Structures are given as structure tokens and as C-alpha cells.
Amino acid sequence: MSNRCGPEIPTALALELFQPSPASLYTLDAIAHLSGVPRRSILIFCRNGFLRPVFLPPYGVMAFAEEAIYTVRRIEDFRATHGNSVAWLKTLFSLLDEVERLRAEVRFIRTR
């Protein structure tokens, strides 16, 4: 009997989801493309301390870790919701960093 749902795809040709390795680095252009945010905005985020490249231009091409994609998207979401105030974003990120620090401290205390 024939398969009416569609042709069978050999396992070797099946599509695999892309999972970047934790050691992957992305250029400024790649981060801009993947996040959908202009390069200029990303450079402003770097200047204001929201984002830190792994490599800086004096040492080669500016490169970012995978986490930067999520950070840029997160900043853009906050900006769309709450406006463009850099002071507000700095306060928000400071509070988020403090929450993460406290969570790590609680995890440490619980494991003792």
C-alpha cells in the first residue's frame, strides 16, 4: 500500500534543527541580522553597557556570544513597550542583574 501522507524521507536526509555550539561567536552584522535590530542600535547598546562584545576592534573583529542575540531582542522588547529612555533601561537591567545574583545566592544556600 502506498503512503498517502507524503513521501518518506530517508533518515540521513531528514532536516535537523540548528543548535549553535556554546562556543559560537557572531559578528556585529550577524547579531543585527538575527535579532532584526540595526547595527547602529547595537553599537549604542554596547556604548551604554547593555551589551559586551567578546572581542573588541583593537584585537580583531567585534564578536558576540549567542547570549547577545537574546539580550538585543529583550532590549528591543522593553523599548517597544516602555519607550527609549536609556536611564530607565539601565535601571531595569541593574535590577535584573540583582535578581539573578540573588537567585544564584539562594541556589548556593540551598545546596549547602
Q: If you average pLDDT over residues 23-40, what whole number do you get?
A: 89
Rounded-to-integer distance, Cα 110 and Cα 112, Å: 6
pLDDT value for 89: 87
The runs of H, that is alpha helices, within 22-85 are 28-35, 39-47, 67-82
In order of their start, the domains of the chain are: 24-111 (1.10.1660.10)
Q: What is the pLDDT of residues 49-88, one digit of tens each?
A: 888 888 766 777 788 988 888 889 989 988 888 887 888 8
Residue type, 80: A
Question: pLDDT tens digits, residue range 11-30?
Answer: 555 555 555 566 788 999 99
